[in-house]
Amino acid sequence: MDEIEANLTLPKGALRLERYARYYTEESGRVHGAYTIEVETERGADFGCDTIQVDDTLKAVPCPAIADLRPGHRRWVQFRDYPAVAAEECLAVQIMYNPLARSFEHVECATPNY
């Protein structure tokens, strides 16, 4: 994280790096970064998360919040827990970093597709 953030130039319109909650994951030899100012809260049991009980039955439980970091914090996550981010006006940023080449393959504002 330190190496990536020390060499990162954010896109035009982005906030200062410290204003984002920053998530990093590794997949296929690349580091993916998702930066957001949104903080997700735990979803209720009616959202669709289940747990398997000792007797192999399912029980509805609250869904964990994946993007629960406060702005200014950062962490590594498993690829399956990597949050999708999008927002207007560059309030979310996505990066892809190649650690072998020590270069960025892309750094872009993650805007909604609508």
68-77 pLDDT, tens per residue?
Answer: 888 999 999 9
Residue 53 belongs to a domain? no
Is residue 47 over pLDDT 70? no
Residue 8 belongs to a domain? yes
> What is the residue range of 29's domain?
2-40+66-109
Domain count along the chain: 1
pTM for the model stands at 0.78
| C-beta of residue 94 within 8 angstroms of C-beta of residue 34 | yes
Q: 41-45: long-range contacts at Cβ-Cβ below 8 A with a sequence spacing of 24 or more?
A: 41/65, 41/68, 42/68
Residue 46 belongs to a domain? no
Q: 50-53: long-range contacts at Cβ-Cβ below 8 A with a sequence spacing of 24 or more?
A: none
CA-to-CA separations, 98 to 17, 59, 80, 81, 103, in angstroms, rounded: 19, 41, 20, 20, 5
Instruction: State residue 61's pLDDT score.
Output: 79
